[in-house]
Amino acid sequence: MIFNGDYVPPEVQIDWLTGMMRGSDVQQTAKTLREMAGLFHDADALRGMDESTVVYRVQWTEPVSQGTIGGLFWGSTIIEPGRVGDEYFMTHGHFHSLRDRGEYYGTIGGKGLLVLMDESRATRTDAMFPGSLHYIASGLAHRVVNTGDEPLLFWACWPSDAGHDYASIKADGFGARVLLRDGKPAVIHEQISAQL
């Protein structure tokens, strides 16, 4: 029986174009430069900035509890335009704790790059622009970089049992950074140290 009366999903409204969500179940967070220290490569540039600067905001709804098998979460992310030194503002980025869980991102406004990395650190990027839809296959870490001069807004849908694994990103970052080079964004891949 599908409708057994035990479960009533919370009511949530979304504004597609602004990314705003309303409803008793909506959660939100704002990530500042202070919380992102260590993720940007130019520590000196970071020290010269206001650490209360908001880099990105996330709103989301969890209609079932985290870890529930078969459920879905839904949310928006807005990344401000800006840079730390030559490195564009970005999300933290994460693997899913359960590696075999995928995700969808869909872009509404702004422009940027979706950085994808597998467990071997092989990294590639996809262009994000209004209307771009991104199926993030299971096993890939994902980070979004705002390379434009206006906020970058995208919606996301991910499994309720995916979880966020930030530890390896904190320790090793991604295999590529998106930096300002010659007046435009460039994807700079890390040097692979020679194997002995």
* Residues in contact with ligand M6P by the rule CB under 6 A: 58, 75, 77, 91-94, 103, 156, 158, 164
- Taking the least distance from each CB to ligand M6P, the nearer of 85 and 166 is 166
Q: To the nearest 10°, report the CA torsion of 156, 164, 56, 46.
A: -150
Contacted entry of ligand M6P, Zn ion, none for residue 88, CB cut-off 5 to 8 Å set by kind: none
- Taking the least distance from each CB to Zn ion, the nearer of 87 and 103 is 103
Euclidean distance between CA atoms 184 and 175, whole angstroms: 20
- Taking the least distance from each CB to ligand M6P, the nearer of 85 and 102 is 102
Euclidean distance between CA atoms 137 and 135, whole angstroms: 6
Binding site for Zn ion (CB under 5 A): 103
- Closest approach, Cβ 185 to Zn ion, in A, equals 23
- Taking the least distance from each CB to ligand M6P, the nearer of 41 and 92 is 92
- Closest approach, Cβ 181 to Zn ion, in A, equals 28
- Closest approach, Cβ 94 to Zn ion, in A, equals 6
User: Tell me, what DSSP letter sits at residue 82?
Assistant: -
